[in-house]
């Protein structure tokens, strides 16, 4: 099944080390602080719980302190969401890059949802 969704990218400057940020993006404990109500992981499959229901995502690839890419199990194969940690060449600031898929008309709403989630993350990081 081909996806009708499009890839979009959001960038957030963040004040913390890549290794601390990566912990919050790649571990059940870290993700449980800001991304979902409950997070478990077994055999490279993450179980994200919101309001009592769970969604499963597999880790497609990851590189410590650099990025982690997840695939929602019930989504088309080519869809994913990714957290990437980059350094600004100019300011040397750490930048969190979020990549995700959404229907064209839903990109704005989905972006707002990420803004809200990332604000929660930054609150946890003391940003």
- For the domain that residue 67 is a member of, what is the CATH number? 3.30.530.20
- The answer to the question of residue 49 being in a domain is yes
- The answer to the question of residue 90 being in a domain is yes
- The answer to the question of residue 83 being in a domain is yes
Classified as helix, coil or strand, 103 is coil
Indicate the pLDDT class of residue 2, thresholds 50, 70 and 90: low
- The answer to the question of residue 1 being in a domain is no
Classified as helix, coil or strand, 83 is strand
Can you tell me which residue has the tokens 């991304």? 35
**What domain count does the chain have?**
1
Contact 21, 14 (CB under 8 A): yes
Question: What is the C-alpha to C-alpha distance for residues 1 and 77, in angstroms, rounded to an integer?
Answer: 8
Range of the domain at 101: 6-125
- DSSP H/E element including 28: helix 28-34
Calculate mean pLDDT across residues 2-19. 91
pLDDT at 89: 86
Contact 94, 19 (CB under 8 A): no
- The answer to the question of residue 56 being in a domain is yes
């Amino acid at each position: 099944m081909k996806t009708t969704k499009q890839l979009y990218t959001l960038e957030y400057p963040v004040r913390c080390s890549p290794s601390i940020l990566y912990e919050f993006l790649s571990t059940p404990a870290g993700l449980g602080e800001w991304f979902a109500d409950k997070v478990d992981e077994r055999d490279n499959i993450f179980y994200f719980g919101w309001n009592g229901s769970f969604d499963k995502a597999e880790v497609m690839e990851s590189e410590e302190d650099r990025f982690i890419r997840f695939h929602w199990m019930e989504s088309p194969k080519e869809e994913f969401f990714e957290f990437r940690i980059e350094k600004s060449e100019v300011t040397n600031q750490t930048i969190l890059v979020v990549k995700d898929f959404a229907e064209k008309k839903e990109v704005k709403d989905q972006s707002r949802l990420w803004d809200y989630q990332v604000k929660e993350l930054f609150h946890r990081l003391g940003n």
